[in-house]
Amino acid sequence: MKRTISIFLILCLALSLCACGNTSSPAPTQEPINSAAPEAPADPAAEAPADPAVAEEAAAAPAPADESFPKSPINFYVTGNAGSASDTMFRTLASSIESTSGANIVCLTDVWAPNMRATMAAAADGYTICGLPSTNVCKSIIDKTDTEDPNYTDLQVLCAVAQTNVCFGVLAKDERFADVNNLSDFVDWCKANPEEQLLIATKSKSSAAMVALALLIDYAELGDQITILNSSSDGELTTSVLGGNVDAFMTNCGAAQSMYQEGSAKIISIMSQERDNYMPDVPTSVEAGIDVFYDFFYIVCCPQGTPEGVQAKLCEIIKAGVEDSTYVDLQATQGNTPIYRDTEATLEMLSTTCDKLESVKTVLGWG
């Protein structure tokens, strides 16, 4: 009996295990999944080849400056002693830029070389510019004894903003020159009086007047007759002329305006191709048949590496300042001519200046 029960229990256990092994159902059959996205319809414009001319023009165009430029004050390194003619000219330009563009300009005055170095060391972001005289920024290119001084190639030239004519004159009461009415007359007088030794006052060796005088001496071969007296300021030069301490003078028209208007000095020539607006009755050197002239001008620069779009914006606001009536009116009082020349034209003018300096560097005493 016990044996029968045991066999029955073993059969029940076996049937239970079989039932448990068959509880899993077969996995359902799945269709294969295509992971690739359906193709988008072709874009005819995307497939069309780009226009090479359009692509080249786009690549050459300067990146535009931020429309809100300038967002902060612009430092303007102004060349000249405080209160000098160039200092006043550049400060008036800064004021005109502010009134026409809304920009905030902070003027910092020093002489030209420190101003250039400060600008060279500044960030190339458009927030530093400097105003400079043309002769000075060319000097170290020609004068090999002054190679430590910077020149305009160390900066990014933006534009020219003013031009100054140079004039040549004598004391009005000097009877020796009573019949000398133009530059040709003066050269003829010198040739006719070779025994006369003339002391001629001018400005520093980097001044426009000094260069113009050197060009005249070289052209007319007057080196044996003329001794140059360099003056440290317009006031010193005027005192020398009115005191009868010199025989003649060469200076910028602005510095000679008061002597010209009072009649104490006789202006013989404008050392230019065109007559001066403020001395309209004085003939030019070219009119007198003497091919000697020197164009002196002022430029504005910024650091090298300044983005082209920012340069364009700076030129835009400077041009508006040059054309502002406040700036134009001041130039009339100083004997300057307000001009605006873009970067390319200004670089051409500087190249011409270098050529003239090279031609007379011996007379100037440059190495």
Residues 170 and 265 in one domain: yes
In the chain the first and final C-alpha atoms are separated, in Å, by 138
Q: What is the pLDDT of residue 42?
A: 52
pLDDT, position 18: 42
pLDDT tens-digit profile of 165-180?
999 999 999 999 999 9
pLDDT of residue 14: 43
The predicted-structure confidence for 63-109, as pLDDT tens digits, reads as follows: 555 677 999 999 999 998 888 889 999 999 999 999 999 999 999 99
Distances (CA, A) of 323 to 56, 92, 164, 328, 330: 34, 12, 17, 7, 12
Answer yes or no: is 317 within a domain: yes
136 alpha-carbon distance from chain centroid: 13
- Return the residue matching tokens 């020219």: 160
Q: Is 74 helix (H, G, I), strand (E, B) or coil?
A: strand
Q: Which of 126, 112, 167 is nearest to 299 (CA)?
A: 112
Task: Specify if 277 maps to a domain.
Answer: no
**Residue 282 within any structural domain of the chain:** no
More confident residue, 45 or 306: 306
What would the mean pLDDT of 139-145 be, rounded to a whole number?
91
| Listed residue (103, 108, 153) closest to 130, CA to CA | 108
Is pLDDT of 128 > 80?
Answer: yes
Please say which residue of 270, 286, 306 terminates a domain: 270
Residue 29: pLDDT band (50, 70, 90) is: very low
pLDDT in tens, 272-308: 999 988 899 999 999 999 999 999 999 999 999 999 9
Element (H, E) at 105: strand 105-110
Q: What is the pLDDT of residue 64?
A: 53
Q: Considering its fold, how many domains does the chain have in total?
A: 2
> What pLDDT, on a 0 to 100 scale, did the predictor assign at position 301?
98
Residue 45 placed within a domain: no
Residue 207 and residue 263 in one domain: yes
Q: Which of 359, 362, 217, 352 is nearest to 290 (CA)?
A: 217
What count of other Cβ atoms lies within 10 Å of the Cβ of residue 242?
Answer: 14
Q: Give the separation between CA 275 and CA 298, rounded to whole angstroms.
A: 19
Identify the domain containing residue 182 by its residue range.
166-270
The number of C-alpha atoms within 13 Å of 264 and in the hemisphere containing its C-beta is: 13
Closest CA to 257 of 287, 237, 227: 237
Structural domain contains residue 148 = yes
